[in-house]
A = this chain, B = another copy of it.
Amino acid sequence: MSEYAVAVDLGGTQLRAALVDAQANILLREEVKTAAQAGPDVVVGQIVELVNAVLRQCTDKLILGIGISSPGPLDTKKGIALSLPTISGFTEYPLGAELRLRLPYAVQLENDGIAAAIGEWKFGAGVGFQNVVFVTVSTGIGGGVIVDGHVMRGRRGMAGHVGHMAVVQNGARCNCGNTGCIEAYAAGPAFTARARARAAIEKTLLAKDCESRDVFAAAKMGDDLAVSMVQEEAHYLAMGFTSLLHLYSPDVLIMGGGLSNEFGMLHPLIDTYVQDNAMAAFKSVPIVKAKLGGNAGLVGASRLVFEGI
């Protein structure tokens, strides 16, 4: 009899649950808008309902357990959500215990960046490597790290907060409280904010309410401001990626998240910086685009169940 996991991806916008098989195929999927302002009781209720909706459709299947990808910082050793920035009320909240009370299978929790890293490692762009750095660049910047074939977790399971590495001295305040974080400069909102501010005062194809994709589109058409915005974005990313190569020594650095849709335009710029700056022994490490897209977290959460990693 085939074995399956139920994987949950709790996001600030969408909450998804899926039935995943041992080959990482997503066989069915349920999705609702996260009640991000309604408090933990309501969100836990949503998770339970969504998991049950999946389970009701597969009463004939052998379910091994439930893996949950959640925004962090999350103490995965104790199952405690420490302070979720995008979902209100989850402060020192015993998410693991509350879910275990209400769900009919074993539950494993993981920080979303680490879950997605596991997904890419096992079934995406990191297959076959022992050392993987995964960076997702989207509304925020997150990630996870595999070193020596081992998922790096650290104290309270919080290792790999790659978005909260400071790259600018005395820099902008990040949502996390730190100053100068790469998230505060290279995540989507910072990129868009810079483009909008300059679009308001410079000659450009860009509108004052442009989105990230508009900037890349205008850059492809040769718009000077848009080109310089893309170069600046690549500069921040490359500066951070170079540090991550030195810090973790991966076999591969994988970029995911919304901005990786523009990887083709960003990568040559990033690569030029890395060739100019990385220590010689690190220059040849490939920087590649993620393969699983928005499913990386679901796949990774399912691997927690299948592999107990």
What is A's interface to B at a CB cutoff of 8 Å?
73, 75, 82-83, 130-131, 147-148, 150, 152-162, 164-169, 176-180, 236, 239-240, 242-243, 246-251, 277-282, 285
A75 — which chain B residues lie within 8 A by C-beta? 281
Number of copies: 2
A131 — which chain B residues lie within 8 A by C-beta? 154-155, 159
Bound form: Cα–Cα A261–B155 in Å: 27
A-B contact pairs, 10 of them (CB 8 A): A147-B159, A150-B150, A154-B248, A154-B249, A155-B249, A157-B249, A159-B247, A159-B249, A161-B247, A178-B279
A83 — which chain B residues lie within 8 A by C-beta? 280-281
The 6 closest A-B pairs by CB, nearest first: A154-B249, A159-B249, A161-B246, A164-B246, A158-B249, A165-B243
Bound form: Cα–Cα A288–B130 in Å: 32
**Closest residue on chain B to residue A249 by CB atoms:** B154
**Of B82, B157, B249, which is within 8 A of A161 by CB?**
B249
**Nearest CB of chain B from residue A307's CB, rounded to whole Å:** 16
**Closest residue on chain B to residue A252 by CB atoms:** B155
Query: Does B243 lie within 8 Å of A280, measured CB to CB?
Result: no
A282 — which chain B residues lie within 8 A by C-beta? 158
A285 — which chain B residues lie within 8 A by C-beta? 155
A239 — which chain B residues lie within 8 A by C-beta? 166, 169, 180
Bound form: Cα–Cα A158–B246 in Å: 8
**Nearest CB of chain B from residue A46's CB, rounded to whole Å:** 24
Query: Does B280 lie within 8 Å of A247, measured CB to CB?
Result: no
Bound form: Cα–Cα A166–B166 in Å: 8
Bound form: Cα–Cα A157–B152 in Å: 16
**Of B152, B155, B166, B236, which is within 8 A of A243 by CB?**
B166
- Given the interface contacts A82-B280, A83-B281, does A247 sit within 8 Å of B153 by beta carbon? no
A82 — which chain B residues lie within 8 A by C-beta? 280-281
**Closest residue on chain B to residue A236 by CB atoms:** B169
